[in-house]
Amino acid sequence: MFDSSMILPAFVVLTVLCGMHARIDVYGAFVRGAKEGLATLLQMLPYLCAMLTATALLRETGVLLRMETWLAPVLSALGLPGEIAPVALLRPLSGSAALAAVRDVLKTMGADSRAGRIACVISGASETVFFTGALYLGAAGLKRSGYAIPVAMIAYAVGMLAAGWMISP
């Protein structure tokens, strides 16, 4: 029987065999790819540090808590539970911070609650807009994002509202 844990090793062996059959220096190609990957990482690292620092500053200074307090009534007016405000604010910035916020919603409201389900959908079906934008636009050397970030944030807001409206109370 073929065990699912063998899929990745089998893929690696198949790739190496195909490369050898095509007379490609597989090890050399791997090393060149790893070298290019490290160069890309070094290009992205300052943008990654900037986004992580901004997220930490928002949380540690209490600004995020004030924003959550302000956003909760707005979400309630839109028919969404106010408890998802931390997830809604953190998801565009940081996936790990948003996941921690989802955990808090699940702990306080319960996994089967409407707020818990909406928080999970928002976290699982949306992108970290500012984080990804900073990383990829910075790595591409773009100084201005044009309409990329505003359009992505509009799409995020529409997706969040759609998730809330589709999950019945």
pLDDT given at position 93: 86
Query: Is 143 inside any structural domain?
Result: yes
Q: Measured between alpha carbons, how far is 26 from 13 in angstroms, rounded to an integer? A: 11
- Domain membership flag for residue 123: yes
Reading the block at residue 80, the tokens are 């969404």
What's the full length of the chain, in residues? 169
Provide the pLDDT for residue 2. Answer: 67
Written as one string, the DSSP assignment of 66-126 is HHHHHHHHHHHHTTS-GGGHHHHHHTTT-HHHHHHHHHHHHHHH-TTSHHHHHHHHHHHHS
- Predicted confidence at residue 1, as pLDDT, reads 60
Residue 82 lies in a domain: yes
Q: Please check whether residue 48 lies inside any domain of the structure.
A: yes
Enter the pTM of the model.
Answer: 0.69
Tens place of pLDDT per residue across the chain (169 aa): 668 888 999 999 999 999 999 999 999 999 999 999 898 888 778 877 887 888 888 889 988 889 888 988 998 888 889 999 999 998 998 888 889 899 999 999 999 999 999 999 999 999 889 888 877 787 777 778 789 889 999 999 999 899 888 887 7
The total of structural domains in the chain comes to 1
Angle at 81 between CA 87 and CA 86, to 5 degrees: 20
Range(s) of the domain holding residue 105: 43-166
Within-domain flag for 120 = yes
